[in-house]
Amino acid sequence: MSSTLDVVLTASFWAATLRICAPLLFGTLGELICERAGVLNLGIEGIMTAGALSGWLTVYYGADLWTGVCVAALVGAIFGLLHGFLTVPLGLSQHVTGIGISLLGASLSYFSFRLLIASTATPTIKPFSAVRVPLLADIPLVGPVLFEQSPLVYLAFSLAIAVSYILYRTPLGLAVRMVGENAMAADAQGVSVVGIRMAAVVVGSAIMAIGGAFLTLSAFNAFFVNLVNGRGWICIALVVFSSWKPARAIVASLFFASLEALQIRLQQGSGGLPYQFFLMLPYLLSIVALIAVARRVSGPQSLMVPFRRGER
Amino acid sequence: MNVQVAPVEGSVGIRRPALRISSVCKRFGSLIANDDVSFTLEAGQVLALLGENGAGKTTLMNILFGHYVADSGAIEIGGASLSPGSPQAALRAGIGMVHQHFALADNLSVAENIIIGTESLLLPWHRAKAKEKILDIARRYGLALDPDALVRDISVGERQRVEIVKALYRDARILVLDEPTAVLTPQEAEALFATLRILVSNGVAVIFISHKLREVLSVADKIIVMRQGKVVAERRASETSREELAELMVGRKVAFPDRKPVSVGPAVLRLDGIVLRQGGNRPHVLDGVNLEVRQHEILGIAGIAGNGQAALADIACGVLAPSEGLIHLSGDPVRSDPSEFVKRGVARIPEDRHATGLIPDMSVWENVVAERYRSEAFAVAGLQRVGAARKYAELVIAQFDVRGAAPNTSAKQLSGGNMQKLILGRTLLQDPGVIVATQPTRGLDIGAVAYVHRKLLEARDRGAGILLISEDIDELFSLSDRIAVMFRGSLSSPVRTETLSLQELGLRMAGQNSTGGR
């Protein structure tokens, strides 16, 4: 047990936690925006994969890293537009549509990757390098953890604060929450339910896709099959774990990321126990945490309720 | 979404009607909901729309508010025509609507619910100014509310005040209230009427939808009576009477049934020492309840909501198992199992038609066999006998006069009164020995109330024992042979209705039991 404590007290452990946290935070925020407006977006896994590939390809073909991020967001937005169109104006089942989008996004990405990159070796790109924030990075222990990270890490955390501000402090945010709570009531007050929901799904999907792009542009430098590896599904659980609140989304994704970072370090130092046990650990503990937390929370009241005017 | 509406003229100048509805027609499939409806409303006037459930009042208001589009006809507001099918246009024209089922988001604050839709989405908002305006409106019209409270934490009366303030916040000139007193206590209703009087004196026009004759007569200037989608009469409140309005509404004289004395038989339902505990050290929901319902008898259970009546009803029809105590049906002890109770002839008329009475999204025939779909009559070798079920549904529809229903109609399309007839029909056609009826006429209009009462009395005369749990004191007095009172999970010993005074009942309901008083 003391070895676990030693691991947790190192700066490198916390720096790794933030790195692992960033893509999860993007995904969680994206999903949270969709769900606050009343649309479950199960397409997240596929949208993250599509974002990962499109961002990476853009950079691979010579554009700079930020262009890659923007292209990933755009591709995410297009998938969001598709999911939104099917679930909002057409009112199709959000589960079925979401799973369809997820399969489409992932399969299309792997297919395009194979078409475009013929070599069996895994080509890499030059990823985002860490940006040292002057002065702040020199603070002992905290400095290297918080202020010597990839710019996308800063973006993820700033985004969480921005989403929180917009949701709770602007009329736009109120409209999003109202549409997710009681679409009929919002409609009766002249808020365009379809417009708000479509916008939320498009923006949310774009943010998820940036989460995917983080993996290729800042973490692995390459694209490969099964790259996203269930992070999208974890984000859906993290939204519940964070009670649909952006500020708590930071806590939730940090919690999961820290378990993941710990798990990697325990694997290295363990004698005897099979490594699969450690791989399992974050998921197992997340389920325990969900049971403890999620029983008390209630989500947006109109989540997964399609809106049709005039229906009793 | 981008609908333009002609500007509404100011109230100064020539006196134009605030609202003119001309020849509005609306059909839903084969049902004619509104048939050539026309009337006008002046500023500073209260117009009551009176009619039974399904007469087309709510449909008309939904057309006015842009939730539905009329098939034909026109609506003018202050002389300008209102573009159909757009709530935004209706709001901009100054129509405010307080729906029967409130359009509020429970997890948002009162202020947020009021402000929504009034500010530009992209600009930062003025919270303080908005709150100031809300409090100002609240003060001016005597509508007490706390802008920062969450809607889920406030009472039904307060929610209604939020809805009214929401309309006034947008400077509504025409306020529509759909069955506003259905959910209010008498004191809250009185406060609402006071608010309406202030509104009217400020030049607001009010449309008051109701089927409660006494209220309509006291609050309205003009009364429009609707029946089966048509306007059948227009009266000034000062020139009509309850009797006339009742007859116009129903289309015939309403005969309220009489309870004829019948000699009672043996006990059909007996509860012995029923205790229902809840977790922790909170008080018991039911604390040693004993009761006996005999053949040819209606036992009324009075009490203020939340004193254990719902649990008692669930236990009496086997849905809930008591923590302690025994249940006997016709002398045999039974274990709590709803399907066993149904087989033994216990009919259930639940409190909430939408939640536990019917399955709104399923069809009428499916609902009609819901309690007995596996019985021999409706199933053979694991296959549903759909033909037999449909035939049974048609029988229920015909014998219990369920309007607007065919076997394939989905139950949610029925009005409240017709849903209740469907529930009555499916159980009463089985000639049950025990009927557990909870609030059987809540939210129904006079025609439907008289109908339900007559059917219950008929069942009693045929030999059923009825446990009638109600918060409506008039109902209890007119139907019950004996009345007992629930208070904090305990049941008083029943008293013969003839020997019970209203005053004594009121005292018992407030928990002041005059011991041994008969």
**Chain A: closest CA distance from residue B419 (Å):** 14
Q: Between residues B4 and B329, which one has the greater pLDDT?
A: B329
Asked if B178 and B43 sit in the same domain, the reply is yes
Closest residue, chain A, to B166 (C-alpha): A189
Would residue B517 count as lying in a domain?
A: no
In this model, does residue B508 exceed pLDDT 60? yes
Picking from A170, A181, A312, the nearest residue to B412 by CB comes out as A312
- Give the pLDDT mean for B295-313: 88
A194 CB neighbours in chain B (<8 A) are 1
Asked if B112 and A195 come within 8 Å (Cβ–Cβ), the reply is no
Q: Between residues B510 and B218, which one has the greater pLDDT?
A: B218
A192 CB neighbours in chain B (<8 A) are 1
Would residue B475 count as lying in a domain?
A: yes
- Paired tokens of B109: 């604050």
Asked if B68 and B169 sit in the same domain, the reply is yes
Which tens digit of pLDDT belongs to each residue from B380-409?
A: 888 888 999 999 999 999 988 888 888 988
pLDDT at B186: 60
pLDDT at B263: 87
A296 touches chain B (CB under 8 A): no
Asked if B162 and B281 sit in the same domain, the reply is no
pLDDT at A205: 98
Closest residue, chain A, to B97 (C-alpha): A188
Asked if B115 and A171 come within 8 Å (Cβ–Cβ), the reply is yes
Categorize the per-residue pLDDT at B2 as very low, low, confident or very high, splitting at 50, 70 and 90.
very low
Asked if B189 and B115 sit in the same domain, the reply is yes
Residue from B344, B345, B386 nearest B369 by CA: B386
Could you tell me the residue ranges of all domains in chain A? 2-124+135-294
Asked if B246 and B122 sit in the same domain, the reply is yes
Asked if A189 and B118 come within 8 Å (Cβ–Cβ), the reply is yes
Asked if A177 and B108 come within 8 Å (Cβ–Cβ), the reply is yes
Asked if B329 and B209 sit in the same domain, the reply is no
User: What is the predicted ipTM?
Assistant: 0.80
Asked if B116 and A298 come within 8 Å (Cβ–Cβ), the reply is no
In this model, does residue B350 exceed pLDDT 80? yes
Asked if B178 and B111 sit in the same domain, the reply is yes
Would residue B119 count as lying in a domain?
A: yes
A173 touches chain B (CB under 8 A): no
Would residue B334 count as lying in a domain?
A: yes
Q: Which of B250, B280, B297 is the last residue of a domain?
A: B250
Closest residue, chain A, to B410 (C-alpha): A312
**Chain B: closest CA distance from residue A289 (Å):** 24
B107 CB neighbours in chain A (<8 A) are 177, 181, 298, 300-301
A298 CB neighbours in chain B (<8 A) are 107
Which tens digit of pLDDT belongs to each residue from B116-156?
A: 888 777 777 788 888 999 999 999 988 889 999 999 888 77
3-state helix, strand, coil in chain A (%, to 5): 70, 0, 30
Residue B479's domain comprises: 267-356+431-509
B65 CB neighbours in chain A (<8 A) are 188
**Chain B: closest CA distance from residue A184 (Å):** 7
Asked if A190 and B91 come within 8 Å (Cβ–Cβ), the reply is yes
Q: CATH number of A2-124+135-294: 3.30.9.10, 3.40.50.150, 1.10.3470.10, 3.90.1150.10?
A: 1.10.3470.10
Would residue B384 count as lying in a domain?
A: no
Q: Between residues B491 and B252, which one has the greater pLDDT?
A: B491
Asked if B110 and B195 sit in the same domain, the reply is yes
| Residue B452 backbone zone (phi > 0: left; psi -120 to 50: alpha; other: beta) | alpha
B88 CB neighbours in chain A (<8 A) are 190
Which tens digit of pLDDT belongs to each residue from A205-216?
A: 999 999 999 999
> Mean pLDDT highest for which of A108-112, B330-334, B499-503?
A108-112
**Chain A: closest CA distance from residue B449 (Å):** 23
Q: Which of A4-8, B194-198, B231-235 has the lowest mean pLDDT?
A: A4-8
Nearest-angstrom CA–CA distance, A154 and A21: 11
Residue B33 — φ and ψ, nearest 5°?
-80, -35
Which tens digit of pLDDT belongs to each residue from A116-137?
A: 988 778 899 999 988 888 888 8
Residue from B498, B425, B414 nearest B456 by CA: B425
Asked if B140 and B172 sit in the same domain, the reply is yes
Asked if A172 and B124 come within 8 Å (Cβ–Cβ), the reply is no
Percent share of chain B, pLDDT over 90:
40
Asked if B174 and B296 sit in the same domain, the reply is no
Categorize the per-residue pLDDT at B9 as very low, low, confident or very high, splitting at 50, 70 and 90.
very low
Asked if B228 and B340 sit in the same domain, the reply is no
**Chain B: closest CA distance from residue A144 (Å):** 36
Q: What is the pTM of this model?
A: 0.75
Q: Which amino acid is at A80?
A: G
Asked if B220 and B280 sit in the same domain, the reply is no
Q: How many domains does chain B have?
A: 2
Asked if B105 and A185 come within 8 Å (Cβ–Cβ), the reply is yes
Q: Which of B194, B216, B250 is the last residue of a domain?
A: B250
Would residue B351 count as lying in a domain?
A: yes
A177 touches chain B (CB under 8 A): yes
CATH code (residue B295): 3.40.50.300
Q: What are the DSSP calls for B165-215, one per residue?
A: HHHHHTT-SEEEEESTTTT--HHHHHHHHHHHHHHHHTT-EEEEEE--HHH
Q: Are strands B95-98 and B19-28 parallel, antiparallel or unpaired?
A: unpaired
A186 touches chain B (CB under 8 A): yes
Element (H, E) at B380: strand B379-380
Would residue B257 count as lying in a domain?
A: no
Mutate which: B107, B148, B163, B168, vs A, most A CBs within 10 A: B107
Q: Which of B208, B224, B250 is the last residue of a domain?
A: B250
Would residue B385 count as lying in a domain?
A: no
Asked if B87 and A187 come within 8 Å (Cβ–Cβ), the reply is yes
Closest residue, chain B, to A178 (C-alpha): B105
Give whole-number Cα distances, B408 to B13, B81, B299, B404, in Å. Answer: 54, 38, 36, 11
Q: What are the DSSP calls for B258-297, one per residue?
A: P-------SEEEEEEEEEE--STTPPPSEEEEEEEEETTE
Taking a C-beta distance cutoff of 8 angstroms, is the pair B432, B465 a contact? no
For chain B, the residues whose C-beta falls within 8 A of a C-beta of chain A are 1, 62, 65, 67-68, 87-88, 91-92, 97, 99, 103-108, 112-113, 115-125, 166, 412-413
